[in-house]
Amino acid sequence: MLTQEQNERLTRVGPGTPGGELLRRYWQVLCPTAQFAADVKGLRIRVLGEDLVVFRKDDGTYAAVVERYEHVTLRTYPVRQLSGLLFVYMGPNAESPPLLPHWDVLARTDRPKHIQVLPVHNCNWLQIQENTADSVHTYYLHGHRMKVLGLPGGDFFYRPILSYDWSVCDWGVEKRVVYAGDPPEVEIRPPLLFPNLLRIPEGQVEALHFRVPIDDEHTRIIWFGLMPPSFGPVTDDDHVDTRFEHDPPGLRVEDVDITTFYGQDRVVWETQGAIADRSQETLGATDRGIVLFRRQLAEQIDRVAAGLEPTIAVVHDETANSCITFESSKRLDAGAHVMMR
């Protein structure tokens, strides 16, 4: 468990907060470029507790300024466009920020792409991201729940788990699960991408989930998918297929549809409260990945507080940034079948 002070340090995202200063060292998604129709020059978007105005300049590039109502100098943040998304860097050294990571699904140009902007989630970003480090929740929350509901789609995860493990890597936290069988099936999942991304295959789709803190108690999730060829034509960055999802008016978390993996996750995230009270939790062996991730966060927060740069998932080498890939499969030992999930 964490003390209340430790929990505050990890979860608060506003300017000057320890956690917020760390998150500002990473490029955060603002919105799809599809929101800038021909007659739209600017949008108001709240990110990390700051109200920004994002605008398209006459030369077609983008920028963001902190919205102010007084006569003061406006702070400007750099904005980059990649694969139909706009990203903002809100950290120091705006003139020379780290490179925007070209994750594989963003960089590839051989398959069509799709963007979904999900409804605003009424909870802190960390309880969403910690779910990524909880490798065995898929057995209980998804596999078992689908079985109880009599629905298909959960059989892959509803198998006895022999072992599980986590380890640190350059990009965040690597995850491995071994399922029972003859031979055992070793599932190597893509790493938790530090600090707030999920990279995961979803059937034929290779997906990225961006968990962007709006403020301390609200999170914007933007889903990006590298789709199979049958989805449609390959387009340029200005015309990526985009969909916006909205909750019906007055939706309560108790009314969220739990017949899907997404709905099941959302209910668990939001029913923990706006900011989960981690001083009251009891962790077990299956929570080792969460503990590892929290330690990473705390260590990187300390580095930033000491005036240093984060050491995880910060890219400066152009030659290593053309297309950041992960292993799709590999043979771990004789007779072990390996797949990504």
Cα(84)–Cα(218) distance, rounded to whole angstroms? 23
73-77, 223-227, 242-246: least confidently modelled range? 73-77
Q: How many CB atoms lie within 10 A of CB 158?
A: 15
List, for residues 88-97, the tens digit of each pLDDT value: 999 998 999 9
Whether the CB-CB separation of 228 and 204 falls below 8 Å is answered with yes
Domain ranges of the chain: 4-16+99-339
Q: Is 82 helix (H, G, I), strand (E, B) or coil?
A: strand
Spell out the CATH class of 4-16+99-339: alpha beta
The mean predicted confidence, pLDDT, of the chain is 91
List, for residues 116-170, the tens digit of each pLDDT value: 999 999 999 999 999 999 999 989 999 999 999 999 888 888 999 999 999 999 9
List Cα–Cα distances, 66 to 50, 78, 92, in angstroms: 7, 12, 14
What are the E-state strand segments in 91-183?
113-117, 161-169, 172-179
Whether the CB-CB separation of 129 and 122 falls below 8 Å is answered with no
List, for residues 10-54, the tens digit of each pLDDT value: 999 999 999 999 999 999 999 999 998 777 889 999 999 999 999
Dihedrals φ, ψ of 285, to 5°? -60, -35
Cα(88)–Cα(77) distance, rounded to whole angstroms? 7
Q: How many CB atoms lie within 10 A of CB 68?
A: 12
